[in-house]
């Protein structure tokens, strides 16, 4: 067997050896997922402590499910008898008290039954809620039944991700295959990048399973969904760049192994630098206080690293084993059309005018940022549709105190219980408090609010209650308190991680390009594209969740800077041979087509997040997709190109770039 083919077979066998033990683990990644409330909160948050402490008193008290019964004109005796049977079933299911509570003494129109759920492990919460629905399904005609409360909301969120892996995978494959078919115009070539990306995804999921099983890494269903999007999006981008350079090298090297060696040698440094930028940016998420956000960083870093290795080792082996027939019906020697040459020539005529117009356009798009509102949304705004728990909460609010199913939960040293109840009675917005329940050295008190538990008014009451209880060692938790802690930590994470990512990306660009001016302008251009995307989104989305700007920023800056690295390293290579102006035009012509295809792939893969019924994921997917398109077709093609042409040699300051400068390895197109 010839040595070149032997090397390719060895690379293939190494990946198969890695794939074999990880295949089953990848399929069981849900075993290490943590989708309970503590996965979305800082470990030291006050509401997190209450979640643990309240289990001493009643399992699942902070995650109650409220079954609401309603009939216009009043419930009948048959209705009340059915509700009594259901309550007995709920008590047996939850092994806890589940007592019907009418809205008034005589002829009530509504009754609700609060069922503790979840307990120590909420993994089975969706099944519990389904069992509750099954019990309540046996009801008289005309009796409306709705299942609501914090437990029902969390169960609906968990169900939203159940089985979504297949949907996301199919949607991502459709996008990737469509772009690859349009790029290569070959019914064969698209298969190999997809296979390499698929292998990278399986290995990444398997590694995440292994690491999460032996460490404290927090894995959520949301993180697993984003992992798939990143691996397919970024991995296919790297594949596009390698294949493009390979086809280019085939024109000068008839022997395909030699062409591949040159392609990998010239592509790997720039692609690795790009991947390192993404990995470093994602790892900045580890500095977040919110555990789910901190866990996403290592997960994303694993995915990007494996995708890089797959595209630089497995994909070249597959291409060499396939031979020239993989390009059928075209030949690799055929050149791409010169559309990007014409774009560069037009930009070069008036570069200053071009970049000024581009900046003004992006600033105009970014103006919408001033109207962007972020908050912890009410439950009704979490989903794209109108789930049953929303209808149930509306019925509950009409007939009962707003927080009937979601009171504040206060855990306090037993000796301060009466003092705590007295102080709470003076807090505006608190309707009433329960009698204290004592277990050992701790006491448990519930406080019922006048405002809906998912409202901004209720969050204000939580802050007032905590201030009123200062000095009593009381801890305030429950659904509303969780919202307060989540918002506070999300704001903190945004204010810490965004500057950190910006600094890391800037330092990597300085080390890579040895040019302060270029690094500053590239970072500024990507930040401007982020603001433009956010501004456009703000004109469409009335409000979104607090971590939304952070997630959009990290993905857009980390992934958007990729394309600038791909372009500028090629420009640097050409500028070292023929000067900055010629280098910019040649670099744009060489990389324009492939990087545009890469941008379409990445935008498309993020856009598939709209298949999820969760508003946050839809907002995230659409905004990142729009931002990637802005960065690909406006920032990189027009703005950065025009700036480099206008500044000429000063673009590389303090370095000097010219025909005598050693060229760095780059990607091709």
pLDDT of residue 596: 87
pLDDT of residue 106: 56
Q: Is residue 39 part of a domain?
A: no
The answer as to whether 646 is a domain residue is yes
In a domain, 48, yes or no: no
Specify whether 99 is located in the same domain as 247. Answer: no
The answer to whether the Cα torsion of 261, 267, 270, 274 is positive or negative is negative
410 and 500 belong to one structural domain? no
Q: What whole-number distance in Å separates Cα of residue 85 and Cα of residue 248?
A: 75
Q: What's phi and psi for 222, nearest 5 deg?
A: -65, -45
Does a structural domain hold residue 382? no
> Which of 451, 484, 517 corresponds to the end of one domain?
484
Same domain, 240 and 100: no
Question: Both tokens of residue 391?
Answer: 């209808």
Whether 459 and 516 share a structural domain: no
Q: Are residues 253 and 264 in contact, defined by beta-carbon separation less than 8 angstroms?
A: no
The answer to whether residue 211 scores a pLDDT higher than 70 is: yes
470 and 491 within one domain: no
Pick 307 or 178 by higher pLDDT. 307
Whether 510 and 474 share a structural domain: no
Do 139 and 181 sit in the same domain of this protein? no
Position 667 confidence tier, pLDDT thresholds 50, 70, 90: very low
Which of 127, 148, 169 is the last residue before a domain boundary?
Answer: 148
Checking if the pLDDT of 669 tops 60, the result is: no
In a domain, 663, yes or no: no
> Which comes out higher in pLDDT, residue 404 or 539?
539
Give the span between the Cα atoms of 5 and 8, in whole angstroms.
5
Q: Are residues 225 and 105 in the same domain?
A: no
Please tell me the predicted confidence (pLDDT) of residue 6.
73
Q: Supply φ then ψ for residue 383, to 5 degrees.
A: -115, 155
Residue carrying the six token digits 């581009």: 358
Total-model pTM = 0.84
Taking residue 44's Cβ as centre, other Cβ atoms within 10 Å add up to 10
65-70 and 144-148 as β-strands: parallel, antiparallel, unpaired? antiparallel
Q: Quote the pLDDT of residue 1.
A: 39
At 663 the pLDDT is 47
Q: Look at residue 507 in the predicted model and tell me its pLDDT.
A: 92
Report how far apart, in Å, the C-alpha atoms of 592 and of each of 259, 344, 363, 570, 587 are.
21, 10, 24, 11, 8
Q: 100 near 83, Cβ under 8 Å? A: yes
- Domain assignment present for residue 169? The answer is yes
> What tens digit of pLDDT does each residue of 115-134 get?
887 654 566 788 888 999 99
Query: Pick from 113, 148, 183: which residue ends a domain?
Result: 148
Q: In this structure, are 546 and 620 located in the same domain?
A: yes
Quote the CA–CA distance of 591 and 571 in Å, as a whole number. Answer: 9
* Res 344 pLDDT > 70: yes
Lowest mean pLDDT among 108-112, 323-327, 566-570, 642-646: 323-327
Do residues 584 and 296 make contact, with C-beta atoms less than 8 angstroms apart? no
Position 155 in a domain? no
Largest CA distance in the chain: 95
Q: What integer pLDDT is reported at residue 503 of this predicted model?
A: 94
State the average pLDDT for the chain: 84
Q: DSSP for 113-127?
A: EEE---TT-GGGHHH
pLDDT (average), residues 138-167: 84
Which tens digits make up the pLDDT trace of 260-307? Answer: 888 888 888 888 988 999 999 999 999 988 888 889 999 999 999 999
Q: Is residue 499 part of a domain?
A: yes
Q: Which domain covers residue 467, as residue numbers?
A: 389-484
Other C-beta atoms lying within 10 Å of the C-beta of residue 337: 8
- Residues 450 and 302 occupy one common structural domain: no
| Kind plus residue range of the DSSP H or E element containing 394 | helix 388-399
- What is the number of domains present in the chain? 3
The whole-angstrom separation of Cα 554 and Cα 624 is 10
Region 372-397: what's the mean pLDDT? 82
Distance CA 319, CA 595 (A): 20
CATH number of the domain that 104 lies in? Answer: 3.30.70.1440
How far apart, in Å, are the Cα atoms of 318 and each of 177, 187, 248, 439, 546? 17, 16, 18, 65, 44
The CATH number of the domain holding residue 397 is: 3.30.70.2520
What is residue 434's predicted lDDT score, i.e. its pLDDT? 86
Residue 581 has pLDDT above 50, yes or no: yes
DSSP letters, 545-576, are ETTHHHHHHHHHHHHHHHHHHHHHHHHHHHHH
- Identity of the highest mean pLDDT range in 59-73, 402-416, 523-537: 523-537
Instruction: Clarify whether residues 355 and 430 are in a common domain.
Output: no
Q: Taking each helix axis from N to C terminus, what angle separates 479-513 and 291-309, rounded to the nearest 10 degrees?
A: 40
Candidates 68, 80, 83, 50; CA nearest to 114 is 68
Whether 84 and 222 map to the same domain: the answer is: no
Query: Lowest-confidence range among 3-12, 198-207, 225-234, 616-625?
Result: 3-12
Which helix (H) or strand (E) segment holds residue 458: the answer is: helix 456-468
């Amino acid at each position: 067997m010839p040595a070149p083919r032997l090397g390719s077979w060895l690379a293939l066998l190494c990946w198969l050896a890695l794939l074999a033990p990880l295949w089953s683990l990848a399929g069981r990644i849900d075993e290490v997922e943590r989708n309970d409330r503590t996965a979305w909160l800082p470990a030291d948050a006050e509401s997190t402590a209450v979640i643990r402490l309240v289990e001493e008193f009643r399992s699942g008290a902070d995650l109650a499910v409220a079954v609401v019964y309603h009939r216009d004109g009043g419930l009948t005796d048959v209705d009340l008898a059915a509700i009594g049977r259901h309550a007995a079933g709920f008590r047996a299911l939850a092994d806890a008290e589940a007592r019907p509570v009418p809205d008034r003494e005589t002829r009530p129109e509504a009754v609700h039954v609060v069922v503790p759920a979840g307990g120590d492990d909420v993994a089975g919460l969706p099944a519990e809620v389904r069992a509750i629905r099954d019990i309540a399904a046996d009801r008289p005609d005309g009796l409306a039944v709705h299942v609501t409360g914090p437990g029902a909301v969390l169960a609906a969120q968990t169900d939203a991700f159940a089985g979504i892996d297949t949907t996301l995978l199919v949607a991502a494959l459709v996008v990737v295959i469509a772009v690859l078919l349009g790029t290569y115009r070959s019914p064969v070539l698209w298969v190999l990048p997809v296979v390499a990306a698929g292998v990278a995804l399986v290995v990444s999921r398997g590694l995440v399973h292994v690491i999460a099983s032996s460490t404290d890494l927090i894995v959520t269903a949301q993180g697993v969904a984003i992992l798939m999007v990143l691996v397919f999006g970024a991995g296919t981008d790297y594949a596009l760049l390698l294949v493009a350079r390979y086809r280019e090298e085939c024109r000068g090297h008839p022997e395909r192994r030699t062409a591949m060696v040159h392609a990998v040698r010239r592509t790997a440094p720039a692609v690795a630098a790009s991947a390192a930028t993404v990995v470093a940016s994602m790892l900045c998420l580890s500095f977040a206080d919110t555990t789910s956000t901190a866990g996403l960083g290592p997960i994303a870093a694993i995915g990007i690293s494996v995708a890089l290795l797959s595209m630089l080792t497995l994909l070249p082996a597959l291409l060499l084993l396939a031979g020239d027939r993989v390009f059928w019906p075209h030949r690799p020697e055929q050149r791409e059309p010169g559309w990007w040459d014409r774009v560069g020539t037009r930009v070069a005529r008036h570069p200053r005018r071009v970049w000024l117009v581009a900046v003004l356009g992006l600033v105009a798009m970014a103006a919408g940022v001033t109207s962007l509102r972020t908050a912890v949304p009410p439950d009704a705004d979490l989903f794209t549709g109108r789930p049953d728990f929303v209808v149930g909460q509306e019925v509950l609010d009409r007939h009962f105190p707003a927080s009937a199913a979601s009171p504040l939960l206060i855990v306090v040293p037993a000796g301060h219980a009466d003092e705590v109840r007295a102080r709470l009675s003076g807090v505006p917005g608190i309707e009433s408090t329960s009698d204290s329940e004592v277990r050992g050295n701790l006491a448990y008190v519930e406080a019922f609010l006048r405002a809906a538990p998912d409202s901004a008014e209720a969050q204000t009451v939580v802050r007032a209650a905590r201030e009123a209880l200062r000095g009593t060692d009381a801890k305030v938790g429950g659904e509303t308190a969780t919202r307060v802690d989540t918002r506070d930590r999300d704001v903190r994470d945004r204010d810490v991680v965004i500057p950190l990512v910006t600094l890391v990306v800037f330092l990597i660009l300085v080390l890579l390009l040895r040019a302060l001016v270029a690094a500053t302008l590239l970072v500024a251009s990507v930040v401007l594209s982020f603001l433009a995307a956010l501004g456009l989104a703000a004109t469409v989305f009335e409000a979104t969740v607090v971590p939304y700007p952070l997630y959009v920023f990290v993905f857009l800056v980390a992934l958007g800077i990729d394309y600038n690295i791909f372009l500028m390293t090629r420009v640097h290579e050409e500028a070292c041979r023929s000067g900055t102006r010629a280098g910019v035009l040649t670099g744009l012509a060489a990389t324009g087509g492939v990087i545009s295809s890469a941008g379409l792939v990445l935008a498309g893969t993020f856009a598939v997040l709209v298949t999820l019924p969760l508003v946050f994921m839809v907002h995230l997917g659409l905004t990142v997709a729009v931002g990637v398109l802005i960065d690909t077709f406006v920032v990189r093609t027009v703005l950065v190109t025009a700036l480099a042409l206008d500044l000429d040699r000063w673009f590389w300051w303090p370095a000097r770039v010219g025909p005598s400068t050693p060229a760095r390895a780059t990607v091709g197109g």
